[in-house]
């Protein structure tokens, strides 16, 4: 990580970059873990500055609009097992923490436990095409991870050579060796039931990567062919 790279991470957080530079830096975030760590570093340092921004009360008409907007229609939570519970937990936790801030240490409420892993917050990964693969008709992939059910769904992969297969790998945030999650379908999207032993990797921060391997998958247990897409799992927005 050069000092220019570090400055670039800060520029991304601050929003200084023009549209194309911004898009390039966002893409790098998906494939360059050190850069992503640097961005998180700046985010953690700079964001507390928001407290100095002056408060401005929004118009009274906005609160009913917001409450109406969340009425009944909660696609992100309602359709997933545990979604409601996780949501309620986190909102109450956030509200309790803010109440604690407002009331001060005398009235610190009992801490609300953080949402446990049993709560399956939606996880997604955008798998970008590395720079050296962009001329070969590759396309970015999307992966949706259901950690609770141990299932990964991957969008259709393009331009896999004949007599080759695309294999999905997970690389933990600790940098351990890639673990195969399985082969991607030759046509259409793929639903992979992840082996129990590898399910601990189905979490935010894990990198998903797709490599081109012999039919049947890598015989060495590690990726042998070119990596055609990679990205980091993150909580869905």
Partner 1 sequence: MEDRAAFQQLYRMTSAKLFGICLRICGERQAAEDVLQDVYVQVWRRAGAYEPGRASPITWLATIARNRALDWRRAHARTPQGADAELPEIADPAPDAEAELIDADEAARVRACLEELEARQRNAVRTAFYEGVTYAELAARESVPLATMKSMVRRALIRLRGCLSDDV
Binding site for partner 1 (CB under 8 A): 3-4, 6-7, 10-11, 14-19, 22, 43-59, 62-63, 65-67, 69-70, 74-77, 83-84, 86-95, 97-99, 101-102, 114-115, 119, 121-122, 235-237
Q: Of 96 and 158, which has the nearer Cβ to partner 1? A: 96
Give dist(CA 28, CA 231) in Å, integer: 9
Q: State the Cα angle at 228 between 156 and 145, rounded to 5°.
A: 50
Q: How far is the CB of 198 from partner 1 (least distance, A)?
A: 23
Q: How far is the CB of 71 from partner 1 (least distance, A)?
A: 9
Q: How far is the CB of 138 from partner 1 (least distance, A)?
A: 27
- What Å distances lie between residue 120 and 34, 117, 236, CA to CA? 27, 7, 11
Q: Taking the alpha carbons of 197, 199, 200, 205 in that order, is the dihedral positive or negative?
A: positive
Q: How far is the CB of 35 from partner 1 (least distance, A)?
A: 14
Closest CA to 181 of 233, 117, 133: 233
Q: Of 123 and 170, which has the nearer Cβ to partner 1? A: 123
Q: How far is the CB of 164 from partner 1 (least distance, A)?
A: 37
Is residue 116 a contact partner of residue 227, using CB atoms and an 8 Å limit? Answer: no
Q: How far is the CB of 148 from partner 1 (least distance, A)?
A: 12
Tokens encoding 106 = 């005398």
Tokens encoding 54 = 């002056």
CA 156 to chain centre: 19
Q: Of 60 and 220, which has the nearer Cβ to partner 1? A: 60
Q: Of 67 and 106, which has the nearer Cβ to partner 1? A: 67
Q: Of 11 and 186, which has the nearer Cβ to partner 1? A: 11
Give dist(CA 65, CA 82) in Å, integer: 27
Q: Of 119 and 179, which has the nearer Cβ to partner 1? A: 119
């Amino acid at each position: 990580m050069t000092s220019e790279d570090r400055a670039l991470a800060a520029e991304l957080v601050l929003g200084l970059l023009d549209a194309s530079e911004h898009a390039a830096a966002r893409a790098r975030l998906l494939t360059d873990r050190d850069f992503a760590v640097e961005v998180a570093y700046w985010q953690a340092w700079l964001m507390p500055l928001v407290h100095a921004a002056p408060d401005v009360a929004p118009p009274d008409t906005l609160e009913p609009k917001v409450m109406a907007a969340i009425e009944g229609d909660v696609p992100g939570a309602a359709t997933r097992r545990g979604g409601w519970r996780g949501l309620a937990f986190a909102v109450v936790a956030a509200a309790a923490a803010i109440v604690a801030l407002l009331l001060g240490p005398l009235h610190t409420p009992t801490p609300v436990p953080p949402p446990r892993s049993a709560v399956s917050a939606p996880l997604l990964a955008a798998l970008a095409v590395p720079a050296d693969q962009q001329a070969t008709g590759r396309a970015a992939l999307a992966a949706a991870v259901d950690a609770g059910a141990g299932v990964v769904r991957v969008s259709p992969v393009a331009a896999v050579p004949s007599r080759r297969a695309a294999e999905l790998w997970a690389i933990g945030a600790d940098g351990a060796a890639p673990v195969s999650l399985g082969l991607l379908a030759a046509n259409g999207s793929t639903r992979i039931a992840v082996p129990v032993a590898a399910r601990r990797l189905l979490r935010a921060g894990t990198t998903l990567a797709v490599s081109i391997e012999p039919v049947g998958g890598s015989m060495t247990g590690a990726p042998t062919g070119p990596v055609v897409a990679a990205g980091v799992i993150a909580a869905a927005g």
